[in-house]
Structure 1
Amino acid sequence: MKDLKILNFGSLNIDKVYSVPHFVSAGETLSSTNFEEFPGGKGLNQSIALAKAGAQVYHGGNIGKDGLFLKEVLAEANVNVDWIEENGNTTGHAIIQVSSSGENCILLFGGANKEITIDQINHVLANFSQDDLLLLQNEINDLEYIVETAHKKGLKIVLNPSPIDETITNLDFSKIDYLILNEIEAKAITNEQTNDKIFQTLLSLNKQLKIVLTLGKAGVIYKDSVEEHRQASYKVDAVDTTAAGDTFLGYFLTQISQQADIKKTLQIATKAAAIAVTRKGAASSIPSLQEVMETN
């Protein structure tokens, strides 16, 4: 079988990072000691993880003219950027304060990520066919319409319900094929507290659903209506966990698109995430496939 195409219809952000002695409080004017700008957004990070893992990945999304460098970053990582529009007013961005003690607080602005049109959605999805994989997060608009339209076309839909809000709980889960989520998201969707009840509730929404529940240091559980697999996490000295989930997802989905079995897929994806947390940064911390394969 041929490798499947993966379309990641997702967010593209500029992370604007300000180093500050402490977080700004009400009425205060504060000088920052440093300013840096990075490519960001869950969509962008996951596309880079997919590409580094060896997937044939296409990114669909929207930026403003101030975000053209995000397209360049993706293209350099071997992501196809043909379906990224440049007609947003302002590129989505995050204003991040990093205090001297290492804590951060983040102000998000959706910008162009929230200006995707129905015409754009139809135009992008027209280029993909039955059984291709569609990856979605919750940082763009019209998720419900994208799911509906992609399902009619026979695409396999992979949902990473982050950040979690009512947009996610309003989706028709019978149209989702893979759900990759953490404990907080799982509890919010199901209103259940234990893993057994969470899986039971999700599979009652869709018997064909394949669920990947990430548990941080406790590893990951895969479950569908037929089988269940657990993968322990690799013990490493974590420096920065920012892109761990995005790295795991990229590697997991790439292995799935290449018809790998679930046990091997979980092992490789968990190892990739473990390498990522030993490095600072988001997209820059994601390891290459060669690195993952050469690591014991």
Structure 2
Amino acid sequence: MTAANGPANAHVVPGQVRATARVAVVGSLNMDLVARVARMPLPGETLAGQTFAQVPGGKGGNQAVAAARLGAQVSMIGRIGDDSNGATLRAGLESEGIDCAALVATPSTPTGVALILVDDGGRNSIVIVAGSNGALTPDDIARHEAVLARADVVVCQLETPPATVMAALAAARRLGKTVILNPAPVTGPLPAQWLPLVDYLVPNELEAATLTGLPIGSPRDAVVAAQALVAQGARNVLITLGSAGVVAAFGGDDPVHVPAPRVAAVDTTAAGDTFIGAFAAQLAQGASTDAALRFAQRAAAISVTRAGAQPSIPTRAELDAAAC
């Protein structure tokens, strides 16, 4: 793997730590309704749950919290409902030191929710109801472009409307920012005009399979998928494989498999978001891609040993202590 950062951030010297690292996250915020079950129910089956919790989540919110806890100054661009869930989500972000000036309350639409089942193996199944996330518009991006202009790294996902994601990617590219896209959830190949706007494409194995049409059942399959995404025009690709690690293709180099730290998983919810937030924070601090990847893997490994989405995300101090 190379030690270069994304081409849009060429003014950063790899390995040179910035005094201030700024990340802007454009994306979703949900209230997660989480039930733990012994196993996933079959169609038409009713199971008794073990526990229930209501915790802040949403891919955008999770990634913002991860970046903030792991060393970056973070701003959030998104929409919540003008309701109790929205107030709770805003308060949670603000308690992490996240700038919420561009987090807009939408009176006519409730805050998004995610219905999450977690089984005894730590695996999850998730259903998302977009709610106010679906009300985030390209006009919101234009209105808050100054937030993107202040950032070193801009992070997007696909839990907001495609036109809004496109507007954020285009604005970030025009402003010369390093751009990370987490293509989740995804239903097919990305629009052709998106990939030139993205420095780091970070799908999991299911998303990579959907993007490429290739089956992924092993790291070797993920290498082939990463090669296909690079051939489609992706600059840098990281395919996260859960406990199997990450397959990364940086700067035209051949894809390589980087195994994950071995831990006992309790709940994998937000592990991918933790990885992306940690990776973004490290890039914003001027870390090399290799160092950022391994830092992000360590953060994600800690997150899966804890229950919940945002409650599972570790701090920089915890990572530093674990490395000693």
TM superposition score normalised by structure 1: 0.86
Cα 1:289/1:259, change in 2 over 3 Å:
same
Structure 1: 5+ residue runs without aligned partners?
none
When the two chains are superposed, the root-mean-square deviation of aligned CA atoms in Å is 3.0
Cα 1:34/1:216, change in 2 over 3 Å:
closer
Deviates more, 1:125-134 or 1:215-224: 125-134
Does the 8 A contact of 1:169 with 1:189 survive in 2? no
1:239 aligns to what SS in structure 2? coil
Find the counterpart in structure 2 of residue 117 from structure 1.
137
Cα 1:264/1:148, change in 2 over 3 Å:
closer
1:222 aligns to what SS in structure 2? strand
**Are 2:136 and 1:91 equivalent residues in the alignment?**
no
**Are 2:263 and 1:236 equivalent residues in the alignment?**
yes
Does the 8 A contact of 2:74 with 2:99 survive in 1? yes
Match of 1:165 among 181, 184, 187: 187
- Rounded to whole Å, the distance in 2 between the matches of 1:248 and 1:19 is 23
What pairs with 1:207-226 in structure 2 (closer than 5 Å)?
209-226=235-252
Cα 1:127/1:225, change in 2 over 3 Å:
closer
Deviates more, 1:241-250 or 1:11-20: 11-20
Cα 1:35/1:147, change in 2 over 3 Å:
same
Cα 1:48/1:107, change in 2 over 3 Å:
same
- Rounded to whole Å, the distance in 1 between the matches of 2:43 and 2:281 is 44
Cα 1:182/1:74, change in 2 over 3 Å:
same
Deviates more, 1:231-240 or 1:281-290: 231-240
Find the counterpart in structure 2 of residue 62 from structure 1.
79
1:80 aligns to what SS in structure 2? coil
Cα 1:27/1:6, change in 2 over 3 Å:
closer
Residue 79 of structure 1 aligns with an amino acid whose one-letter code is: I
Does the 8 A contact of 1:15 with 1:37 survive in 2? yes
Find the counterpart in structure 2 of residue 275 from structure 1.
302
Give percent identity, aligned residues only.
34
Does the 8 A contact of 2:114 with 2:127 survive in 1? yes
- Rounded to whole Å, the distance in 1 between the matches of 2:26 and 2:314 is 22
Residue 280 of structure 1 aligns with an amino acid whose one-letter code is: A
Shift of 1:98: 6.6
Cα 1:181/1:70, change in 2 over 3 Å:
same
Deviates more, 1:164-173 or 1:49-58: 164-173
- Rounded to whole Å, the distance in 1 between the matches of 2:104 and 2:296 is 30
**Are 2:153 and 1:133 equivalent residues in the alignment?**
yes
TM superposition score normalised by structure 2: 0.80
Shift of 1:170: 5.7
Shift of 1:6: 1.2
Structure showing greater relative contact order (alpha-carbon pairs closer than 8 Å, 6 or more residues apart):
2
- Rounded to whole Å, the distance in 2 between the matches of 1:18 and 1:183 is 24
Residue 287 of structure 2 aligns with an amino acid whose one-letter code is: A
- Rounded to whole Å, the distance in 1 between the matches of 2:273 and 2:307 is 14
- Rounded to whole Å, the distance in 1 between the matches of 2:119 and 2:245 is 30
Deviates more, 1:258-267 or 1:50-59: 258-267
- Rounded to whole Å, the distance in 1 between the matches of 2:117 and 2:60 is 22
Find the counterpart in structure 2 of residue 49 from structure 1.
66
Does the 8 A contact of 1:160 with 1:181 survive in 2? yes
Aligned length: 294
